[in-house]
A = this chain, B = another copy of it.
Protein backbone atom coordinates (compact mmCIF):
# COMPACT_ATOMS: atom_id res chain seq x y z
CA UNK A 1 0.00 0.00 0.00
CA UNK A 2 1.04 3.49 -0.68
CA UNK A 3 -1.67 5.80 0.48
CA UNK A 4 0.22 9.08 0.47
CA UNK A 5 0.61 11.49 -2.43
CA UNK A 6 2.61 14.69 -2.66
CA UNK A 7 5.91 15.99 -1.37
CA UNK A 8 5.10 19.24 0.43
CA UNK A 9 1.32 19.40 0.07
CA UNK A 10 0.68 15.79 1.00
CA UNK A 11 -2.49 13.75 1.25
CA UNK A 12 -2.88 10.36 2.94
CA UNK A 13 -6.14 8.52 2.36
CA UNK A 14 -7.65 5.58 4.19
CA UNK A 15 -10.75 3.43 4.29
CA UNK A 16 -12.49 0.44 2.76
CA UNK A 17 -15.96 0.40 1.26
CA UNK A 18 -17.50 -1.49 4.17
CA UNK A 19 -15.52 -0.46 7.26
CA UNK A 20 -16.54 2.34 9.63
CA UNK A 21 -15.47 5.13 7.35
CA UNK A 22 -13.15 6.60 4.77
CA UNK A 23 -11.19 9.82 4.75
CA UNK A 24 -7.93 11.65 4.35
CA UNK A 25 -5.25 13.59 6.17
CA UNK A 26 -3.93 16.67 4.37
CA UNK A 27 -0.50 17.63 5.65
CA UNK A 28 1.42 20.69 4.56
CA UNK A 29 -1.57 22.90 3.83
CA UNK A 30 -0.65 26.58 4.13
CA UNK A 31 -2.01 28.28 7.26
CA UNK A 32 -4.59 31.06 7.61
CA UNK A 33 -6.78 29.99 4.70
CA UNK A 34 -10.54 30.07 5.09
CA UNK A 35 -11.89 26.54 5.05
CA UNK A 36 -15.16 24.97 6.06
CA UNK A 37 -16.81 21.62 5.61
CA UNK A 38 -19.13 23.24 3.08
CA UNK A 39 -16.16 23.97 0.79
CA UNK A 40 -15.41 20.27 0.74
CA UNK A 41 -18.98 18.98 0.70
CA UNK A 42 -19.64 20.60 -2.67
CA UNK A 43 -17.25 18.30 -4.51
CA UNK A 44 -18.25 15.27 -2.45
CA UNK A 45 -21.84 15.83 -3.52
CA UNK A 46 -20.77 15.88 -7.16
CA UNK A 47 -19.02 12.54 -6.59
CA UNK A 48 -21.66 10.73 -4.53
CA UNK A 49 -23.81 7.91 -5.93
CA UNK A 50 -27.52 8.34 -6.51
CA UNK A 51 -27.38 11.75 -8.18
CA UNK A 52 -29.41 10.77 -11.24
CA UNK A 53 -30.79 7.82 -13.14
CA UNK A 54 -27.43 7.58 -14.93
CA UNK A 55 -25.60 6.55 -11.80
CA UNK A 56 -26.09 3.78 -9.29
CA UNK A 57 -29.31 4.08 -7.26
CA UNK A 58 -27.29 3.57 -4.08
CA UNK A 59 -27.75 6.65 -1.92
CA UNK A 60 -24.60 7.63 -0.04
CA UNK A 61 -24.71 11.06 1.53
CA UNK A 62 -21.05 11.16 2.39
CA UNK A 63 -21.10 13.96 4.93
CA UNK A 64 -17.59 15.16 5.70
CA UNK A 65 -16.33 16.10 9.17
CA UNK A 66 -13.11 18.06 9.73
CA UNK A 67 -11.46 16.55 12.81
CA UNK A 68 -8.41 18.77 13.04
CA UNK A 69 -6.29 21.42 11.39
CA UNK A 70 -8.96 24.09 11.19
CA UNK A 71 -10.07 26.48 13.93
CA UNK A 72 -12.58 29.27 13.65
CA UNK A 73 -12.87 28.59 9.94
CA UNK A 74 -9.17 28.99 9.18
CA UNK A 75 -6.42 26.49 8.56
CA UNK A 76 -3.77 26.24 11.27
CA UNK A 77 -0.96 24.88 9.10
CA UNK A 78 -1.37 21.57 10.92
CA UNK A 79 -2.69 18.31 9.40
CA UNK A 80 -6.33 18.52 8.35
CA UNK A 81 -8.10 15.22 8.95
CA UNK A 82 -11.31 14.54 7.11
CA UNK A 83 -13.74 11.73 7.90
CA UNK A 84 -16.78 10.41 6.06
CA UNK A 85 -18.73 7.63 7.75
CA UNK A 86 -19.80 4.59 5.75
CA UNK A 87 -23.59 4.12 5.88
CA UNK A 88 -25.10 2.10 3.07
CA UNK A 89 -22.94 -0.97 3.34
CA UNK A 90 -25.21 -3.68 1.93
CA UNK A 91 -22.49 -6.27 2.41
CA UNK A 92 -24.99 -8.95 1.45
CA UNK A 93 -24.76 -8.12 -2.25
CA UNK A 94 -21.17 -9.20 -2.34
CA UNK A 95 -21.24 -12.29 -0.16
CA UNK A 96 -21.81 -14.74 -2.96
CA UNK A 97 -18.83 -13.47 -4.86
CA UNK A 98 -16.35 -14.39 -2.20
CA UNK A 99 -15.20 -17.57 -3.86
CA UNK A 100 -15.22 -16.09 -7.34
CA UNK A 101 -12.84 -13.27 -8.23
CA UNK A 102 -14.88 -10.82 -10.29
CA UNK A 103 -13.43 -10.32 -13.78
CA UNK A 104 -11.43 -7.11 -14.17
CA UNK A 105 -11.96 -6.28 -10.50
CA UNK A 106 -9.18 -6.29 -7.92
CA UNK A 107 -10.44 -9.34 -5.99
CA UNK A 108 -7.83 -11.65 -7.48
CA UNK A 109 -4.87 -9.29 -7.26
CA UNK A 110 -5.59 -8.18 -3.69
CA UNK A 111 -5.91 -11.80 -2.67
CA UNK A 112 -2.59 -12.63 -4.36
CA UNK A 113 -0.80 -9.62 -2.95
CA UNK A 114 -2.09 -9.63 0.62
CA UNK A 115 -3.29 -13.21 1.10
CA UNK A 116 -6.50 -11.70 2.47
CA UNK A 117 -9.11 -9.25 1.28
CA UNK A 118 -12.10 -7.31 2.55
CA UNK A 119 -15.22 -9.44 2.39
CA UNK A 120 -17.51 -6.53 1.65
CA UNK A 121 -17.44 -5.10 -1.87
CA UNK A 122 -14.25 -3.77 -3.33
CA UNK A 123 -12.66 -3.01 0.03
CA UNK A 124 -9.83 -0.61 -0.57
CA UNK A 125 -10.23 -1.03 -4.36
CA UNK A 126 -13.78 0.29 -4.15
CA UNK A 127 -14.64 3.65 -5.66
CA UNK A 128 -15.43 4.80 -2.11
CA UNK A 129 -11.68 5.12 -1.66
CA UNK A 130 -11.83 8.20 -3.86
CA UNK A 131 -13.84 10.11 -1.25
CA UNK A 132 -10.63 10.93 0.59
CA UNK A 133 -9.06 12.21 -2.63
CA UNK A 134 -12.05 14.39 -3.48
CA UNK A 135 -12.18 15.86 0.02
CA UNK A 136 -8.45 16.62 -0.02
CA UNK A 137 -8.61 17.86 -3.58
CA UNK A 138 -11.32 20.34 -2.67
CA UNK A 139 -8.91 21.93 -0.22
CA UNK A 140 -6.13 22.02 -2.81
CA UNK A 141 -8.48 23.54 -5.39
CA UNK A 142 -9.56 26.24 -2.95
CA UNK A 143 -5.96 27.21 -2.21
CA UNK A 144 -5.05 27.33 -5.87
CA UNK A 145 -8.06 29.44 -6.61
CA UNK A 146 -7.48 31.90 -3.80
CA UNK A 147 -3.75 32.34 -4.20
CA UNK A 148 -3.33 32.00 -7.98
CA UNK A 149 -6.83 32.32 -9.36
CA UNK A 150 -6.35 28.86 -10.86
CA UNK A 151 -9.56 27.25 -12.15
CA UNK A 152 -9.75 23.52 -12.72
CA UNK A 153 -12.69 22.25 -14.76
CA UNK A 154 -13.23 18.71 -16.03
CA UNK A 155 -16.06 17.32 -18.11
CA UNK A 156 -17.16 14.21 -19.94
CA UNK A 157 -15.89 14.41 -23.51
CA UNK A 158 -16.82 10.89 -24.61
CA UNK A 159 -19.10 8.04 -23.60
CA UNK A 160 -18.53 4.99 -25.71
CA UNK A 161 -18.28 6.18 -29.30
CA UNK A 162 -20.18 9.40 -28.66
CA UNK A 163 -17.80 12.32 -28.51
CA UNK A 164 -18.45 15.87 -27.42
CA UNK A 165 -17.52 18.63 -29.83
CA UNK A 166 -14.11 20.11 -29.07
CA UNK A 167 -15.19 22.57 -26.44
CA UNK A 168 -11.78 23.71 -25.40
CA UNK A 169 -12.63 27.31 -24.60
CA UNK A 170 -12.42 29.81 -21.80
CA UNK A 171 -16.10 29.54 -21.10
CA UNK A 172 -16.46 26.07 -19.65
CA UNK A 173 -17.06 26.08 -15.92
CA UNK A 174 -18.61 23.88 -13.27
CA UNK A 175 -22.05 25.36 -13.85
CA UNK A 176 -22.03 24.55 -17.55
CA UNK A 177 -20.69 21.09 -16.87
CA UNK A 178 -23.34 20.34 -14.28
CA UNK A 179 -26.26 21.37 -16.52
CA UNK A 180 -26.57 17.73 -17.51
CA UNK A 181 -26.38 14.65 -15.34
CA UNK A 182 -23.81 13.20 -17.68
CA UNK A 183 -21.58 16.23 -17.12
CA UNK A 184 -20.95 17.01 -20.78
CA UNK A 185 -21.28 20.70 -21.70
CA UNK A 186 -22.09 19.87 -25.34
CA UNK A 187 -25.84 19.59 -24.85
CA UNK A 188 -26.45 17.62 -27.99
CA UNK A 189 -23.76 15.08 -27.24
CA UNK A 190 -24.86 14.99 -23.61
CA UNK A 191 -28.28 13.82 -24.62
CA UNK A 192 -26.88 11.04 -26.78
CA UNK A 193 -24.50 10.01 -24.01
CA UNK A 194 -27.37 9.80 -21.53
CA UNK A 195 -29.31 7.65 -23.96
CA UNK A 196 -26.33 5.37 -24.45
CA UNK A 197 -25.86 5.01 -20.72
CA UNK A 198 -29.53 4.19 -20.25
CA UNK A 199 -29.28 1.66 -23.06
CA UNK A 200 -26.33 -0.23 -21.59
CA UNK A 201 -27.93 -0.04 -18.17
CA UNK A 202 -31.04 -1.72 -19.51
CA UNK A 203 -28.86 -4.37 -21.10
CA UNK A 204 -27.20 -4.87 -17.70
CA UNK A 205 -23.92 -3.91 -19.32
CA UNK A 206 -21.59 -0.95 -18.87
CA UNK A 207 -19.69 1.49 -21.06
CA UNK A 208 -16.42 3.46 -20.88
CA UNK A 209 -15.74 7.10 -21.49
CA UNK A 210 -13.25 9.96 -21.55
CA UNK A 211 -12.86 12.98 -19.30
CA UNK A 212 -11.14 16.16 -20.43
CA UNK A 213 -9.70 18.57 -17.88
CA UNK A 214 -8.46 22.11 -18.22
CA UNK A 215 -6.51 24.06 -15.61
CA UNK A 216 -6.51 27.79 -16.27
CA UNK A 217 -4.14 30.45 -14.93
CA UNK A 218 -1.42 28.06 -13.87
CA UNK A 219 1.55 30.43 -13.77
CA UNK A 220 4.74 29.54 -15.64
CA UNK A 221 7.25 27.59 -13.57
CA UNK A 222 5.26 24.81 -11.90
CA UNK A 223 6.62 21.27 -12.29
CA UNK A 224 9.74 19.54 -11.01
CA UNK A 225 11.83 17.89 -13.72
CA UNK A 226 12.98 15.35 -14.40
CA UNK A 227 10.85 12.74 -12.61
CA UNK A 228 8.17 14.98 -11.18
CA UNK A 229 7.41 16.87 -14.34
CA UNK A 230 3.93 18.39 -14.31
CA UNK A 231 2.66 15.92 -16.91
CA UNK A 232 4.35 12.98 -15.16
CA UNK A 233 2.68 13.65 -11.82
CA UNK A 234 -0.64 14.36 -13.55
CA UNK A 235 -0.30 11.02 -15.33
CA UNK A 236 0.41 9.21 -12.07
CA UNK A 237 -2.48 10.97 -10.37
CA UNK A 238 -4.93 10.12 -13.14
CA UNK A 239 -3.85 6.51 -13.61
CA UNK A 240 -4.23 6.01 -9.86
CA UNK A 241 -7.98 6.62 -10.21
CA UNK A 242 -9.98 3.38 -10.33
CA UNK A 243 -10.86 2.33 -13.92
CA UNK A 244 -8.46 4.80 -15.60
CA UNK A 245 -6.62 3.23 -18.54
CA UNK A 246 -5.04 6.15 -20.38
CA UNK A 247 -3.75 9.70 -20.07
CA UNK A 248 -2.70 12.24 -22.63
CA UNK A 249 -1.63 15.85 -22.35
CA UNK A 250 -2.01 18.41 -25.11
CA UNK A 251 -1.85 16.71 -28.49
CA UNK A 252 -1.38 13.35 -26.77
CA UNK A 253 -1.63 10.29 -28.99
CA UNK A 254 -2.62 12.42 -31.96
CA UNK A 255 0.72 14.20 -31.60
CA UNK A 256 2.41 10.96 -32.59
CA UNK A 257 1.22 11.38 -36.17
CA UNK A 258 2.04 15.06 -36.49
CA UNK A 259 4.99 16.86 -38.05
CA UNK A 260 7.17 19.08 -35.87
CA UNK A 261 6.42 22.10 -38.08
CA UNK A 262 2.75 21.56 -37.33
CA UNK A 263 3.06 20.56 -33.69
CA UNK A 264 5.47 23.20 -32.41
CA UNK A 265 3.81 25.94 -30.39
CA UNK A 266 5.48 29.11 -31.58
CA UNK A 267 5.73 32.07 -29.24
CA UNK A 268 3.85 35.32 -29.55
CA UNK A 269 3.50 38.35 -27.33
CA UNK A 270 0.25 38.24 -25.33
CA UNK A 271 -0.34 41.44 -23.40
CA UNK A 272 2.67 41.61 -21.11
CA UNK A 273 4.03 38.12 -21.44
CA UNK A 274 5.07 35.46 -23.96
CA UNK A 275 2.38 32.99 -24.87
CA UNK A 276 2.04 30.42 -27.60
CA UNK A 277 -0.11 30.55 -30.74
CA UNK A 278 -1.21 26.94 -30.42
CA UNK A 279 -1.22 24.72 -27.35
CA UNK A 280 -0.29 21.26 -28.57
CA UNK A 281 1.99 21.11 -25.56
CA UNK A 282 -1.01 21.20 -23.23
CA UNK A 283 0.46 24.00 -21.15
CA UNK A 284 3.76 22.31 -20.28
CA UNK A 285 7.20 22.29 -21.82
CA UNK A 286 10.04 20.24 -20.43
CA UNK A 287 7.75 19.27 -17.57
CA UNK A 288 7.14 22.86 -16.44
CA UNK A 289 3.98 24.92 -16.93
CA UNK A 290 4.35 27.67 -19.53
CA UNK A 291 1.40 29.87 -18.58
CA UNK A 292 -0.98 28.45 -21.20
CA UNK A 293 -3.88 26.33 -19.95
CA UNK A 294 -2.83 22.88 -18.78
CA UNK A 295 -5.17 20.41 -20.42
CA UNK A 296 -5.33 16.65 -20.59
CA UNK A 297 -7.62 13.69 -21.14
CA UNK A 298 -8.20 10.54 -19.13
CA UNK A 299 -9.67 7.33 -20.57
CA UNK A 300 -11.89 5.18 -18.36
CA UNK A 301 -12.80 1.59 -19.05
CA UNK A 302 -16.38 0.36 -18.73
CA UNK A 303 -17.43 -0.50 -15.15
CA UNK A 304 -16.33 -4.04 -14.36
CA UNK A 305 -19.47 -4.91 -12.43
CA UNK A 306 -22.21 -5.90 -14.88
CA UNK A 307 -25.48 -7.71 -14.45
CA UNK A 308 -24.97 -9.71 -17.63
CA UNK A 309 -23.86 -13.29 -16.95
CA UNK A 310 -20.13 -13.84 -17.38
CA UNK A 311 -18.37 -17.16 -17.77
CA UNK A 312 -15.27 -17.09 -15.63
CA UNK A 313 -13.45 -19.22 -13.04
CA UNK A 314 -13.50 -19.36 -9.25
CA UNK A 315 -10.32 -19.25 -7.18
CA UNK A 316 -9.92 -23.00 -7.67
CA UNK A 317 -10.06 -22.65 -11.43
CA UNK A 318 -13.55 -24.13 -11.73
CA UNK A 319 -15.64 -22.56 -14.46
CA UNK A 320 -18.62 -20.61 -13.10
CA UNK A 321 -21.20 -18.21 -14.43
CA UNK A 322 -21.25 -14.93 -12.56
CA UNK A 323 -24.15 -12.46 -12.45
CA UNK A 324 -23.70 -9.34 -10.34
CA UNK A 325 -26.76 -8.34 -8.37
CA UNK A 326 -25.42 -5.19 -6.72
CA UNK A 327 -26.35 -1.69 -7.83
CA UNK A 328 -23.60 -0.10 -9.80
CA UNK A 329 -22.89 2.71 -12.20
CA UNK A 330 -23.31 1.68 -15.83
CA UNK A 331 -20.69 4.34 -16.67
CA UNK A 332 -18.17 5.84 -14.26
CA UNK A 333 -17.31 9.08 -16.04
CA UNK A 334 -20.10 11.41 -14.82
CA UNK A 335 -19.11 10.79 -11.21
CA UNK A 336 -15.38 10.67 -12.01
CA UNK A 337 -15.40 14.33 -13.10
CA UNK A 338 -14.81 15.72 -9.57
CA UNK A 339 -12.24 12.98 -8.94
CA UNK A 340 -10.20 14.06 -11.96
CA UNK A 341 -10.44 17.69 -10.85
CA UNK A 342 -9.38 16.77 -7.33
CA UNK A 343 -6.35 14.80 -8.40
CA UNK A 344 -5.33 17.65 -10.71
CA UNK A 345 -5.66 20.08 -7.82
CA UNK A 346 -3.53 17.88 -5.57
CA UNK A 347 -0.79 17.73 -8.20
CA UNK A 348 -0.76 21.45 -8.93
CA UNK A 349 -0.94 22.50 -5.27
CA UNK A 350 2.11 20.39 -4.49
CA UNK A 351 3.91 21.81 -7.53
CA UNK A 352 3.06 25.35 -6.44
CA UNK A 353 4.48 24.83 -2.95
CA UNK A 354 7.56 23.02 -4.21
CA UNK A 355 8.24 25.79 -6.67
CA UNK A 356 7.84 28.45 -3.99
CA UNK A 357 10.36 26.75 -1.76
CA UNK A 358 13.24 27.62 -4.08
CA UNK A 359 12.13 30.86 -5.60
Which residues 245-263 in A have Cβ within 8 Å of B in the complex? 245-253, 255-263
A8 close to B354 (CB less than 8 A): yes
CB of A334 closer than 8 Å to a CB of B: no
- Stretch of A45-53, A56-64, A308-316 at the chain-chain interface: A308-316
Q: Of B103, B106, B276, B287, which one neighbours A287 at CB under 8 angstroms?
A: B106
A113 close to B355 (CB less than 8 A): yes
CB of A149 closer than 8 Å to a CB of B: no
The interface size bin for chain A is 35 or more
Contact with B along A212-223 (1 / 0, CB 8 A): 000000001101
Q: Which of A105, A223, A239, A259 has the largest number of chain B CB atoms within 10 A?
A: A239
B258 close to A240 (CB less than 8 A): no
CB of A185 closer than 8 Å to a CB of B: no
Q: How far, in whole Å, are A244 and B253 apart by their CA atoms in the complex?
A: 9
Which residues 286-307 in A have Cβ within 8 Å of B in the complex? 286-291, 299-306
B1 close to A79 (CB less than 8 A): yes
B259 close to A16 (CB less than 8 A): no
Q: Of B71, B200, B232, B250, which one neighbours A119 at CB under 8 angstroms?
A: B71
21 A-B contacts, Cβ less than 8 Å apart?
Answer: A1-B79, A2-B354, A7-B8, A15-B68, A19-B68, A31-B116, A76-B117, A108-B220, A124-B226, A129-B226, A200-B259, A200-B260, A232-B237, A234-B239, A255-B301, A260-B303, A263-B302, A266-B312, A267-B312, A267-B313, A269-B313
Q: Which residue of B lies closest to A313 (CB)?
A: B267
A299 close to B248 (CB less than 8 A): yes
Residues of B within 8 A of A89 (CB): none
**Distance (Å) between the CB of A118 and the closest chain B CB?**
6
Residues A255 and B10 in contact in the complex (CB < 8 Å), given A108-B290, A240-B229, A357-B357:
no
**Distance (Å) between the CB of A81 and the closest chain B CB?**
4
Residues of B within 8 A of A221 (CB): 109, 112-113
Q: How far, in whole Å, are A264 and B301 apart by their CA atoms in the complex?
A: 9
CB of A338 closer than 8 Å to a CB of B: no
Q: Which residue of B lies closest to A284 (CB)?
A: B109
Residues of B within 8 A of A20 (CB): 65-68
CB of A158 closer than 8 Å to a CB of B: yes
A108 close to B285 (CB less than 8 A): yes
B264 close to A304 (CB less than 8 A): yes
